[in-house]
Structure 1
Amino acid sequence: MQAYLFVHFKEKRTPDGEQVYFGVSKNGFDWEEVNGGDPVLWSYFGDKGVRDFTITRTKEGKFVILATDLSLSYGMLNQYNHSWAKAARYGSKSLAMWQSNDLVNWSEQKMVQLGDDDFGCVWAPDIIYDKNNNDYVIHWSSSHSSNEYGFKGIYYSRTKDFENFSKAQLLIKKEDSGIIDSAMYEEDGKYYLFLKSEQNPGKIILMKSDSITGPFERIHSFDQSMETVEAGQYEAPTAVRLDDGRWCLFLDFYGCSAEEQGYVPFIADRLANGEFIRSDQSFTFPYGYKHGTILAITIEEYERLKSYKKLPSEY
């Protein structure tokens, strides 16, 4: 039996929202807050705020969190002049990183620069282990000088140790739209890549490849699963394989107030067929929360996180 950890942030207008929060669940549907609903980790470097988390368990058993280095609370007014376009063009080229052996005791925050002067902001990382190459592929969305910082594409870097990183390369782009919020999973030796397409359609799409680095082809049956999902209202896909073998895909719904924002679950028997059924009624979370990643954990790890409490003086 396994449990689940959701690493996320809160879309608040105060700096405490753009920090690292944990939620836990025994079944993947009914979620409980960790640390009394307060942040587990706090960002003190870069923009001093973090969003769009990913977490992985390495083959050695270490946990790694990566996040977008961006604070709208601090920066949207005085640094980016209320402009998402400026944040995308001139935002951080680095990701914030923390590491842990037990999900409770974390290393100090480290800034990992993956973009160079040709990149805009490095957004929304995701990590997948490449068993064929025995390393980890970190992929993210960015604008780039190659198309005059127009439509965003997905780029990637490889690492074996989360200390040394290869030069960024293009993973995939879409000619008629920007693509962001990539999330990749392996099933039966194939790789499935969820993306938010910003236009044509303005929805989540699903791609498939024999290789982690592509080339990718579109799974059109998934488009049919998204037919009733409102365009321009969902982002940040994250998925997890449940105990019974089904996949649960969560999409972040932002077509409401910040306090109400949160994920909507969709269930599929297999990624390969692209057929997902919306399952709102089976899902609960104790507060509004934003863009993150789900990780399968052990019951022992679940119990450890449930009893975790961090004092304000310990940040």
Structure 2
Amino acid sequence: MRFSIPFLAGLVSLATAAPAQSLDFSSYALTPRADPSLTGYLGVFFLGDTPSIYFYLSNGNNAISLKALNKGQPVINPTKGTQGVRDPAIIAGGGTEAGKKWYIIGTDLNIAKTSWDASQRTGSRGIFVWESTDLINWTGERLVVVEDATAGMVWAPAAIWDDSKGQYLVHWASKFYTASDSGHTGSPSATRIRYAYTKDFKTFTAPADYINKSPTNVIDLDILSLGSNAYARFLKDETAKTVFTEVSTGGLFGTWTRPAGATATIASGVEGPAVYWDNEVSGKAHLLLDFYGSDGYRPYESTDVKGGKWSASSTAAWPKNLRHGSVLPVTGAQSSAVAAKWPA
């Protein structure tokens, strides 16, 4: 979203393929290895200023070729809050949730009903949540408030399963005003990435700072597991309007450094990074960057994520005007079931 933050939670492999129409997803593994049980990709996005959730499915197992489902109409229309959702992130179950749930979370923001200034001063402090056991029926719509009244907004929530905690680490971007400035009319803090833990996307721990680079504003975080307690994360420098990557070999709270250099960036004039592993080529990853002033998402690729080396992919089969969202690798049975429910 314009001036927002994202997520795809580094989700990589489903362990076993399910029989036809039986959506078995009994084990998820966060690993860069290719997985023959995964034969497609499901993407969730919003389109421009249309604040609903649209589903896209890959053409076969091509990670950078997508087609619109549901005849190009939204699959989820929010009914709570501002009745607008942006920056959807699709999250697979982990730990005790494995084999039980997928979640879609997103930003509560309908820009047609507000302004960019107002949405950052007195915007929603909640996270939209839907859940599913089959990728088809999405229920339990809720808007969970995660920040107190000093926050100006909660934007582009995303999540990753933290094995060490047995919970999801959920992150988003917020800026803050002093407690005495109840109308949020003064100067705010720099925008920073916040986090909390949850097991069910219903109750959350008290939020805290995750990435604070003040006075630089940072938004749009997405995290990819590299295995062996190593991670890559991607975020936007909102001050410079660039997306860059950092790597930690010491876990989600380890020391993060830019592998390609302290000032290295992937691209300028972009936001909403969404990263996912390739199903067929071990060690290959795909990164979507939203060219918000132009044609939306464009794909990038890397076979050296830890080294921070990324290059633009072909856009020959990539649809235009997709905005900040995420992509989930899926099995053939899951692809078939989703396509049957929402035909292209």
What TM bracket, shorter-length normalisation? 0.7 to 0.9
1:99 and 2:134 equivalent? no
Q: Which amino acid aligns with 2:272?
A: A
Letter in 1 for 2:42: L
Deviation by residue 1:229-284 (Cα, 9 ceiling, x = unmatched): 3x3x210000110021200111011222xxxx321111111321100111134541
Partner of 1:19: 52
SS at match of 1:240: strand
* CA distance in 2 between partners of 1:94 and 1:294 (Å): 23
Counterpart of 2:21 in structure 1 is none
Conservation of the 8 A alpha-carbon contact between 1:6 and 1:22: yes
Deviation, structure 1 residue 21: 0.7
1:223 CA drift (Å): 5.6
The residue that corresponds to 1:44 in the other structure is: 79
**CA apart distance, 1:214:** 4.2
CA contact (8 A) 1:20 1:50 kept: yes
Show CA shifts across 1:182-240 (max 9, x none).
Answer: 001110321211110012x42001122222134432333596563xx3x3x21000011
Question: Contact 2:89 / 2:325 at 8 angstroms: preserved in 1?
Answer: yes
Q: Give the fraction of aligned pairs with identical amino acids, expressed as a percent.
A: 29
Is 1:218 aligned to residue 250 of structure 2? no
What is the rounded CA distance, in whole Å, between the counterparts of 2:261 and 2:157 in structure 1? 26
Partner Cα separation in structure 1 for residue 262 and residue 135 of structure 2: 34
Number of the residue aligned with 2:226: 187
> Whose helix fraction is larger, Structure 1's or Structure 2's?
1
**Aligned residues of 1:221 and 1:273 also touching (Cα < 8 A):** no
Give the structure 1 partner of residue 88 of structure 2: 53
How far apart in 2 are the matches of 1:218 and 1:270? 13
User: For 1:13-69, what per-residue CA distance to the aligned partner results, in whole angstroms no more than 9, with x for missing partners?
Assistant: xxxx21111101131111011111111111010010000111111022310010000
Q: Which of 304, 307, 315 pairs up with 2:337?
A: 304
Task: Between 217-226 and 148-157, report the one with greater CA deviation.
Answer: 217-226
Correspondence for 1:248 among 286, 294, 307 = 286
Count of residue pairs brought into register by the alignment: 289
- 2:67 aligns with one of 8, 32, 37: 32
Counterpart for residue 79 of structure 1: none
Q: 1:115 aligns with which of 147, 150, 156?
A: 147
- Counterpart for residue 117 of structure 2: 85
What is the letter of the counterpart of residue 127 of structure 1? A
Q: How does 1:275-314 map to 2 (within 5 A)?
A: 275-285=309-319, 287-309=320-342
Q: Please tell me the residue identity of whatever aligns with 2:93.
A: T
Match of 2:199 in 1: 160
Indicate the SS of the match to 1:87. Answer: helix
1:267 pairs with one of 301, 316, 339: 301
Give the whole-Å Cα distance in 2 for the aligned partners of 1:279 and 1:309. Answer: 28
The answer on whether the counterparts of 1:222 and 1:276 sit within 8 Å (CA) in structure 2 is no
User: Unaligned 5+ residue runs, structure 1?
Assistant: 77-81, 311-315
Query: Structure 1 254/222 Cα, relative in aligned 2: closer, same or farther at 3 Å?
Result: farther
Q: Within 5 A, what are the aligned runs for 1:224-243?
A: 224=264, 226=266, 229=267, 231=268, 233-243=269-279
Give the conservation status (yes or no) of the 8 Å contact 1:265–1:283: no
**Which structure exhibits the higher relative contact order, with contacts defined as CA atoms closer than 8 Å and separated by 6 or more residues?**
2
Partners of 2:317 and 2:156 in 1: CA distance: 24
Query: Which amino acid counterpart does residue 172 of structure 1 have in structure 2?
Result: I
Alignment of 1:6 onto 2:40:
no
Partners of 1:195 and 1:267 in 2: how far apart? 16
Quick check: 1:198 aligned with 2:198? Answer: no
2:241 and 2:271 in contact (8 A); partners too: no
Q: Secondary structure at the match of 1:307?
A: helix
